[in-house]
């Protein structure tokens, strides 16, 4: 609080003084300008323009028009008081074919963004890949092909050279599980392929790409930069302690979590995953030296969390017919609804799952700093006749999850920061513009930005460095 602030200090959850308070976005979801200044199609441009793939036929062609409203959006962040901003670089904006030299106009956009963030006193956190693979690389085979990982290492070197003097934190990949298993396994995300083998090959090549990018960043930047990876780890709960339900949870943990955690942190593949997926592959696409490359040391781990995953054993006679993102588990596992309230995405609200996940990582990865790189909720909020956007459900969701983070810190988890998803309402992947995660409302017809009540609440939390202070404060 400032010297003139006479509000009573009623906080029960005070965070460390150097805790990083951020918000996050992704390039394809907010930038727009899909064909400007040399940008070529990504797999999400192609996917969203394919009839039936995205709700209402929505595309990211304009999105939140952040490409043209960069200064306005940075000013919003300054008003909120965030210390950090996590953004992603659109690979096809800076290297349209995924090969060769960069397009300077594309690099210049990110240079302007970083410069304005620094001028506003906001720490830039750059994510190299948030799902927008250049379409030309997908046409050559995409992430199931080894070459894509090699191209990603070259792209990382380009970005380090362009922004390395101003960006202190680099994240290689965002949620490779979604990109591999939703993109290539059940096809609900770009590029829309449905192959268990392709999904496993993609997962391995994401691990390899991550390691190659770490090497490229280290060689260009030295030891002064923080390098990270962001995973959407599943907080898996068995429905009971029966052996068959525990085995169902093990299977989902293997293909949902340890498929990335083990190679990156231990340089190994989960042996039970190899057994589970034996009907699909012998993993011969893993070459000598790949796992050593994938396990290059990193400085922190980003965690994206929204809700827990409850599983039970499937009846042995239960057939599986739909394409699945759970290679090796699909015929053995049933997914059960978690109890409690639900968001507009029909996702259960359960902050205890975040606490459980953080304590698991405390125990499994001692010495690894953790950062919550995404957490938030979609609700059916709207601007009322007075222009206000009231979203009490989101405030309640965020409060509960920040309290869970605080509890985990008290329990010994080394959590360094929290990035709220998302700054802006945006293009929500296969849901198009039908779901709103932002703390800033966007009228997509006019691009008018309006702070929701949750934005004011978050600004107050940041200002005070903790929870249980007054609500409704912050910038107007």
Tens digits of pLDDT across the chain (476 residues):
333 343 445 678 999 999 999 999 999 999 999 999 999 999 999 999 999 999 999 999 999 999 999 999 999 999 999 999 999 999 999 999 999 999 999 999 999 999 999 999 999 999 999 999 999 999 999 999 999 999 999 999 999 999 999 999 999 999 999 999 999 999 999 999 999 999 999 999 999 999 999 999 999 998 889 999 999 999 999 999 999 999 999 999 999 999 999 999 999 999 999 999 999 999 999 999 999 999 999 999 999 999 999 999 998 756 666 799 999 999 999 999 998 999 999 999 999 999 999 999 999 999 999 999 999 999 999 999 999 999 999 999 999 999 999 999 999 999 999 999 999 999 999 999 999 999 999 999 999 999 999 999 999 999 999 998 433 333 43
Is 374 catalytic? The answer is yes
Is 372 within 8 Å of 406 (Cβ atoms)?
A: no
**How many CA atoms, within 13 angstroms, populate the side-chain half-sphere of residue 117?**
23
d(CA 391, CA 378): 10
Where are the alpha helices (H) located in 269-391, listed in sequence order?
A: 271-276, 290-294, 352-364
d(CA 95, CA 170): 18
List pLDDT tens digits, range 317-374.
566 667 999 999 999 999 999 989 999 999 999 999 999 999 999 999 999 999 999 9
d(CA 293, CA 213): 10
Q: Of 175, 356, 393, 463, which one is the catalytic site residue? A: 175
**Residue 179 gets which letter from DSSP?**
I
Is 175 catalytic? The answer is yes
Please give the C-alpha separations between residue 120 and each of 81, 114, 128, 428, in angstroms, as whole numbers.
Answer: 10, 10, 22, 28
The reported pTM is 0.95
List pLDDT tens digits, range 211-248.
999 999 999 998 889 999 999 999 999 999 999 999 99
Q: Of 116, 226, 374, 463, which one is the catalytic site residue? A: 374
- Residue of 420, 428, 424, 307 lying closest to 371 (CA atoms): 420
């Amino acid at each position: 609080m400032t010297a003139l602030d006479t509000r009573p200090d009623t906080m029960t959850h005070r965070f460390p003084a150097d805790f990083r308070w951020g918000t996050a976005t992704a390039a394809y979801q907010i930038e727009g300008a899909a064909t400007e200044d040399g940008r070529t199609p990504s797999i999400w441009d192609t996917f969203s323009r394919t009839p039936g793939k995205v709700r209402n036929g929505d595309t990211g062609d304009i999105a939140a028009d952040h490409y043209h409203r960069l200064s306005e959006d940075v000013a919003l962040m300054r008003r909120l008081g965030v210390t950090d901003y996590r953004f992603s670089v659109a690979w096809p904006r800076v290297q349209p074919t995924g090969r060769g030299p960069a397009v300077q106009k594309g690099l210049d956009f990110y240079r302007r963004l970083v410069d304005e963030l620094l001028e506003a006193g906001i720490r830039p956190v750059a994510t190299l890949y948030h799902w927008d693979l250049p379409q030309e690389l997908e046409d050559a085979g995409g992430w199931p092909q080894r070459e894509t990982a090699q191209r990603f290492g070259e792209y990382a070197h380009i970005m380090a050279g362009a922004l390395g003097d101003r960006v202190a934190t680099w994240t290689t990949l965002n949620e490779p599980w979604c990109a591999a298993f939703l993109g290539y396994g059940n096809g609900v995300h770009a590029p829309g392929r449905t192959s268990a083998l392709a999904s496993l090959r993609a997962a391995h090549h994401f691990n390899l790409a991550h390691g190659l990018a770490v090497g490229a960043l280290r060689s260009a930047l030295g030891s002064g930069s923080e390098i990270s990876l962001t995973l959407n780890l599943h907080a898996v709960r068995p429905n009971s302690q029966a052996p068959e339900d525990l085995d169902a949870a093990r299977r989902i943990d293997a293909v949902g979590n340890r498929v990335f955690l083990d190679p990156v942190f231990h340089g190994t593949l989960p042996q039970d995953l190899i057994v589970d997926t034996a009907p699909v592959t012998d993993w011969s696409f893993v070459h000598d030296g790949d796992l050593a490359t994938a396990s290059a040391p990193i400085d922190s781990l980003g965690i994206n969390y929204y809700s827990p995953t409850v599983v039970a054993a499937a009846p042995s006679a239960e057939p599986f017919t739909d394409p699945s993102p759970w290679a090796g588990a699909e015929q053995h596992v049933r997914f059960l609804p978690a109890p409690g309230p639900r968001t507009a995405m029909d996702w259960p609200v359960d902050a205890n799952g975040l606490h459980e996940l953080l304590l698991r990582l405390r125990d499994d990865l001692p010495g690894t700093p953790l950062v919550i790189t995404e957490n938030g909720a979609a609700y059916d909020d709207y601007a009322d006749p007075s222009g206000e956007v009231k979203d009490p459900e989101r405030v309640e969701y965020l409060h509960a999850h920040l309290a869970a983070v605080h509890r985990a810190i008290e329990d010994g988890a080394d959590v360094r920061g929290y990035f709220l998803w998302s700054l802006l309402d945006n293009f929500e992947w296969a849901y198009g513009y039908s779901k709103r995660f932002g703390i800033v409302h966007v009228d997509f017809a006019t691009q008018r930005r309006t702070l929701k009540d949750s934005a004011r609440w978050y600004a107050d939390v940041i200002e005070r460095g903790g929870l249980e202070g007054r609500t409704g404060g912050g910038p107007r």
